[in-house]
Every structure is written in C-alpha cells, then in structure tokens.
Amino acid sequence: MRRDFVANVSHELQTPLTVLSGFLETMRDIPLGEADRARYLDMMEQQASRMQNIVRDLLMLANLEGNMRFARR
C-alpha cells in the first residue's frame, strides 16, 4: 500500500514539474510577447502552488502518522 502511495505522489509531483520545465524551456528559447510571457508565468505559478500543496499535505500526513504511532505506544 505504501509503494502505491509513493507512486501516486511521484506522479502527482511529476506532472507539474514537467509543465514547469516545458514553460521554462519555452521562455528561454523562444522570443515571447509580454502577454504570452505573463500567461506562461501565471501557469507556472499555478503549478508551483500545486506542488506546494502536495508537499504540505504529505507533511501533514507524515505528522498524523507519527502522532498515531506515538499514541499507540
């Protein structure tokens, strides 16, 4: 069960990382107008926020699991 969980979390983090990498590559290699640049930056911000939420949730789960183990002793 833990292996499936880690696989799912890895997938959930890989998707926004792929999006960010693609946008960064685009912004570096292709001249963009200000509107496109702003739109890409907004999308990158959304993906970064998504990853922050996933990490925050993982830390909360780890904390809850640690508290449950401590309470069982």
DSSP 8-state class, residue 16: H
CATH number at residue 44: 1.10.287.130
51-59: long-range pairs with CB below 8 Å, 24+: 51/13, 51/16, 51/17, 54/9, 54/12, 54/13, 58/9
Please tell me the total count of domains within the chain. 1
Q: Give the range among 3-12, 38-47, 51-60 with minimum mean pLDDT.
A: 3-12
0.75 surpassed by pTM: no
- pLDDT digit string, tens, across residues 46-73: 999 999 998 898 888 888 877 776 666 6
Q: 25 — alpha (psi -120 to 50), left (phi > 0) or beta?
A: alpha
Range of the structural domain that residue 36 is part of: 2-72
* CA quadruple 51, 57, 63, 69: dihedral sign: negative
DSSP 8-state class, residue 61: H
